[in-house]
Amino acid sequence: MRQPLVAGNWKMNGSLDSVTSLIEGIKAGLGSVTTAEMVVCPPYVYIPGVAGLIGDAAISLGAQDVSDQESGAYTGEVAPGMLTDVGCKYAIVGHSERRSIYGESDEFTASKFAAARKAGLVPILCVGEQLEEREQGITEDVVARQLDAVINLEGVAALADAVIAYEPVWAIGTGKTATPQQAQDVHAFIRGKLAALDSSVADKVRILYGGSMNAGNAAELLAMADIDGGLIGGASLKPADFLAIGTAANS
Ligand code: PGA
């Protein structure tokens, strides 16, 4: 059985005060989450503080991005080893905002995936199509291309312990969620593609849905066979909503 994972991507939001009350709020309601692993991905600068606030509560830490390099003259970058050093377990790579705003390619994303794994982080690899691509009927081609960049570099086995997040770009931050069936179709495509290469990897890999998942729609999305959790943006900034998504994953 794959343990559900509910990860909050805080993006570039927060202050010392607000991240403190966010973590305190999540901790206070954590008892209602019985099955899912809960993860928060704060902006880099708040990670050590959030680690301290989490203490021994059952909340894992992730970063929103990571460098593809180990160390050296890379101004502004944060190395994977630095993230493990401050307590991160996960790192998101290839989020659509990195791809579209900062021009990060499939190959660059794959190199970040590799660097994260090498340092002992679990990468959360984001894939997903733009609205025009869905309308052109090439969703599967786009997702396959994004996955292939990682498979070609690292081999399919590297995905067994990783996490994939399917995030249709048109659903991110728009309030427009994929229907459970639309999401399930792509999740099943991803798992089927991996199964054709290695069925044990396909069975093991956790595939999250992301894109306007919230307290109201989480249960029906999480009920789908191939949806193993969520990558949550907006709703992860409100403790009650984030916890409700975690609770919706209770078995
Ligand atoms: P959203 O963001 O939940 O605000 O749509 C999801 C994401 O970008 O990971």
DSSP letter, residue 107: H
Binding-site residues, ligand 1, Cβ < 6 A:
9, 167, 172-173, 210-213, 231-235
What pLDDT is recorded for position 176?
Answer: 86
Atom of ligand 1 nearest to the CA of 235: 3
Region of 93 (left: φ > 0; alpha: ψ -120 to 50; beta: rest) is beta
Other beta carbons within 10 Å of 98: 18
Closest CA to 86 of 67, 62, 57: 62
- What confidence tens digit (pLDDT) does each residue in 118-169 have? 999 999 999 999 999 999 999 999 999 999 999 999 999 999 999 999 999 9
**Mutation test residue for ligand 1: of 163, 174, 231, the one with most atoms within 8 Å of CB:** 231
Question: How far, in Å, CA of 137 to CA of 67, rounded?
Answer: 33
What pLDDT is recorded for position 241?
Answer: 98
Atom of ligand 1 nearest to the CA of 97: 8
Q: pTM of the prediction?
A: 0.98
Other beta carbons within 10 Å of 248: 23
Q: How far is the CA of 222 from the centre of ligand 1 (A)?
A: 16
Q: Whose CA is nearest to atom 1 of ligand 1?
A: 233
Query: Is-catalytic flag, 187?
Result: no
Q: Are 57 and 246 in contact (CB under 8 A)?
A: no
Give every CB contact of residue 239 below 8 A, 6+ residues apart in sequence.
22, 25, 26, 28, 29
Geometric angle at alpha carbon 156, from 71 and 150, rounded to 5°: 45
Q: How far is the CA of 234 from the centre of ligand 1 (A)?
A: 6
Geometric angle at alpha carbon 128, from 121 and 227, rounded to 5°: 70
Structure tokens at 2: 């794959």
Query: Is-catalytic flag, 154?
Result: no
CATH superfamily of 9-118: Aldolase class I (3.20.20.70)
What pLDDT is recorded for position 224?
Answer: 98
Q: Which of 37, 95, 97, 154 is catalytic?
A: 95
Q: How far is the CA of 159 from the centre of ligand 1 (A)?
A: 22
Q: How far is the CA of 233 from the centre of ligand 1 (A)?
A: 4
Q: Which of 97, 129, 167, 187 is catalytic?
A: 167
Domain segments of the chain as ranges: 9-118, 131-153+170-201
Atom of ligand 1 nearest to the CA of 213: 3
Q: Whose CA is nearest to atom 7 of ligand 1?
A: 233
Average pLDDT of each block of 10 consecutive residues along the chain (251 residues)? 96 98 98 98 98 98 98 98 98 98 98 98 98 96 98 98 97 91 98 98 98 97 98 98 98 87
Please say whether the dihedral angle defined by the alpha carbons of residues 197, 161, 122 and 222, taken in this order, is positive or negative: positive
Largest CA distance in the chain: 48
Question: How far, in Å, CA of 228 to CA of 206, rounded?
Answer: 6
